[in-house]
Amino acid sequence: MLHKIVLAMVMALGLPGLARAAEGRQVMVQWYQLVLELVRHTPTYSPPVASRAFGYLGVTGYEVLASGRSEMQSLAGQLNGLQEVPQSGASLDEGLDEAVVMHAAMAQTVRNFFGNTGPSGQQAMERMDAVTAKQVVAGLAGDVVARSEAYGRSLAQHVWLWSLEDGGAVIDNMGFPRQYTLNPVPGHWRPTSSIALQQTPLLPGWGGNRPFAMPTGTACRLPPPPEYSEDPESEFYRQAMEVYDASRTLTEEQKTIARFWSDDPMLSPTPPGHWVSLVLSLIEQDALDGPQAADALMRVGVAVADGFIGCWAAKYEYDTIRPVTYIKAVIDPKWEPLLITPPFPEYPSGHSSQSGAAAEVLTAIFGENYRFGDPTHEEDGIATRQFGSFTEAAQEAAMSRLYGGIHFRAANERGLEQGACIGAYSVALRTLR
């Protein structure tokens, strides 16, 4: 279905009478649709890495539109380290075409961030580039096309150079360090998988990356998790028993919730891609214009990217044991969780932190009690779920990790709180005047 949507969108660009400004929005959205697939099919794209790409992609799309509109404010000076973006030297009225600029910028940015994808992804990028380029330049003067393409590429290059210094540009060995010393003290993380690469935890330095909007990775610090204990009277044991008991009485609805938010890397657009996918559906549903769409995608991209940085900083500060390790050692050696346990420390929950951040942003944009359906996983045979608010969706995402047996309650609840704190920095960005 998705590929048909994308192809249909490409074709729609050629329809007569379509406003050029609307084409810029459409070009942006269709590149995002492709990126949701590239995230799924590029092996280095674990959730933190995916969130980073969504951050930079969002900034690129936003700056393209902001550069030609007086009602939009550049993010330069607002986002950490982002210097003044290149000036076009021409206006939309006088010699630039927004769709061509957008296409050139997005095509270049997608290549920059997904140059390491597989042969099908390479082919898809080439086809998308070729087909869209042909569509957007139709009827335009050659000098306008050349000027617009050059400007789009210069914006992309500006963002790309900015990204290279954030600490997350190089992913080696799929993100698993070749050397890592486990903390031998009970209660700390142990490998949970028999996959050889995953005997060290994913991206232990990610929390030190430069955030987008929040001042530092530890700007939204969390209290420590419940103190580790194997005493049945302890809070830690109680929370582990909650996971264990829940796993043995899961309803079909709870299993569905766990799988809906599972968002496994390489098998889905990942948790940050899940929220981006939702935004894309809302853009269509609410017929957001270009600036509104770019604003929403940028804010959510920034929020989830910062969400993962903040979350990862906390994960490696507390380095907490996963439920599967604890429960097998203390409660039931034969226990298996519903979901595959991710290969990194437990506290806080990454999905909860970034979902909390995304919900904070989307609530600010769409309102407190905005009802929506989330069709992200329809192509995978998982039905659309309905929500009464973004907060409700984020809370369900958080709780899904307990149902799935991969997080304790504290990690989910504190994660949501951390996400709300992080998302507020994205909300505070000044964009549409």
Partner 1 sequence: MTRLLALLALIATPGFAADHPQVPRFIDETAASGLQSVYAGEWLFMVGGGVSTFDCNDDALPDMVLAGGEGLASLWQNRSEPAGGLRFERTAASGVEMTYVTGSYPVDIDSDGIGDLVVLRVGENVVLRGLGQCRFERANEAWGFDGGDGWSTALAATWEKGADWPTIAVGNYIDRFQEAFPWGSCTDNWLHRPQNLTGIGQRFAPPVALKPGYCALSMLFTDWDRSGTASLRVSNDREYYKGGQEQLWHLPPGGDPALYTEQEGWARLRIWGMGIASDDLDGDGYPEYYLTSMADNKLQGLVKPAEAAALIPKYADSAFKRGATAHMPYTGGDLRPSTAWHAQFGDVNNDGWADLFIAKGNVASMPDFAKDDPNNLLLQRPDGTFAESGDKAGIASMRQARGAQLVDLNRDGMLDLVVVNRNAGAEVWRNAGPSVGHGLGGHWLGLRLHQAGANPDAIGARIEVRAGGRTWTRETTLGGGHASGSLGVQHFGLGAADLAEVRVDWSDGSISDWAKVGAGAVWRIEKGRPPAPVN
Where in 94-133 is the site for partner 1 (CB under 8 A)?
Answer: 115-120, 123-124, 127-128, 131
Residue 330 is given by DSSP the state I
**Interacting span for partner 1 (CB under 8 A) from 21-29, 33-41, 206-214, 359-367:** 33-41
Question: Counting contacts by CB under 8 A, is residue 433 touching partner 1?
Answer: no
**216: CB partners within 8 A, 6+ apart:** none
Question: Counting contacts by CB under 8 A, is residue 182 touching partner 1?
Answer: no
Looking at 194, 252, 287, 433, which residue binds partner 1 (CB under 8 A)?
Answer: 194
Looking at 84, 93, 381, 433, which residue binds partner 1 (CB under 8 A)?
Answer: 381
Distance in Å, CB of 380 to partner 1, minimum: 4
Question: Counting contacts by CB under 8 A, is residue 11 touching partner 1?
Answer: no
Kindly determine how many residues on this chain lie close enough to bind partner 1 according to the rule CB under 8 A.
Answer: 37
Q: Are 10 and 132 in contact (CB under 8 A)?
A: yes
**312 bridge partner residues:** none
Question: Counting contacts by CB under 8 A, is residue 37 touching partner 1?
Answer: yes
**44: CB partners within 8 A, 6+ apart:** 116, 171, 174, 175
Where in 236-265 is the site for partner 1 (CB under 8 A)?
Answer: 264
Looking at 18, 141, 267, 432, which residue binds partner 1 (CB under 8 A)?
Answer: 267
Distance in Å, CB of 392 to partner 1, minimum: 25
Question: Counting contacts by CB under 8 A, is residue 288 touching partner 1?
Answer: no
d(CA 72, CA 66): 5
**Interacting span for partner 1 (CB under 8 A) from 169-177, 308-316, 318-326, 407-415:** 169-177
Question: Counting contacts by CB under 8 A, is residue 2 touching partner 1?
Answer: yes
Q: Where are the alpha helices (DSSP H) in 42-141?
A: 47-66, 98-114, 119-137
Distance of CA 157 to the CA centre of its chain: 21
Q: What sign does the CA torsion over 339, 342, 347, 353 have?
A: negative
Query: In sequence order, what E strands does 278-377 have?
Result: 372-374
Burial grade of 87 (CB within 10 A; 0-12, 13-18, 19 or more) = exposed
Report how far apart, in Å, the C-alpha atoms of 121 and of each of 126, 136, 142, 280, 319 are. Answer: 9, 22, 30, 20, 35
Question: Counting contacts by CB under 8 A, is residue 384 touching partner 1?
Answer: no
In angstroms, the first-to-last Cα distance of the chain is 37
Smallest CA-to-CA distance from 228 within 219, 239, 218, 220 is with 239
Looking at 18, 141, 161, 195, which residue binds partner 1 (CB under 8 A)?
Answer: 195
Residue 32 or 318 with smaller CB distance to partner 1: 32
Q: Are 273 and 393 in contact (CB under 8 A)?
A: no
Question: Counting contacts by CB under 8 A, is residue 63 touching partner 1?
Answer: no
Q: 15 phi and psi, to 5 degrees?
A: -70, 135
Distance in Å, CB of 195 to partner 1, minimum: 5
Q: Are 186 and 31 in contact (CB under 8 A)?
A: no
Residue 91 or 123 with smaller CB distance to partner 1: 123
**Interacting span for partner 1 (CB under 8 A) from 3-11, 217-225, 344-352, 419-427:** 3-11
Question: Counting contacts by CB under 8 A, is residue 14 touching partner 1?
Answer: no
The 10 Å Cβ neighbour count of residue 411 is: 33
Q: What sign does the CA torsion over 113, 114, 116, 122 have?
A: negative
Question: What would the x/- binding string for partner 1 be over residues 351 to 380, using CB under 8 A?
Answer: ----------------------------xx
Q: Is 188 helix (H, G, I), strand (E, B) or coil?
A: strand
Residue 6 or 313 with smaller CB distance to partner 1: 6
Element (H, E) at 356: helix 350-366
Question: Counting contacts by CB under 8 A, is residue 147 touching partner 1?
Answer: no
Residue 98 or 374 with smaller CB distance to partner 1: 374
Q: 385 phi and psi, to 5 degrees?
A: -110, 145
Residue 117 or 395 with smaller CB distance to partner 1: 117
Looking at 382, 385, 392, 396, which residue binds partner 1 (CB under 8 A)?
Answer: 382
Distance in Å, CB of 194 to partner 1, minimum: 4
Residue 196 is given by DSSP the state G
Distance in Å, CB of 5 to partner 1, minimum: 10
Site of interaction with partner 1 (CB under 8 A): 1-3, 6-7, 34, 37, 40-41, 43-44, 115-120, 123-124, 127-128, 131, 171, 173-174, 178, 194-197, 264, 266-267, 379-382
